[in-house]
Amino acid sequence: MMVYQEFDGKVTEFMRGLVGEQLDQCTGEQITLFNRMYKSIDEIAVDKMRRAYYQCRKTVLENKEKSNG
């Protein structure tokens, strides 16, 4: 059982890192909104991680599109 817990922990850590990379590219306002929705990266439930990543990624792409205007 210990091996599964170790694996799950590493996968969760990796997912949080992916979300964090996207969030680092967001504005302060966008990060505040993220924190209102999810509290923080460390508190996102695993089952909500995919949605959080896609929301952040979409926001980053929209920010880039606006800046290239």
Cα four-point dihedral sign 57, 30, 15, 52: negative
pLDDT in tens, the chain (69 residues): 688 899 999 999 999 999 999 999 999 999 999 999 999 999 999 999 999 999 999 999 999 999 987
- In the chain, domain spans: 23-69
pTM of the model: 0.88
Q: What per-residue confidence (pLDDT) applies to 2?
A: 84
User: 46 phi and psi, to 5 degrees?
Assistant: -55, -40
CA distance 49 to 1: 23
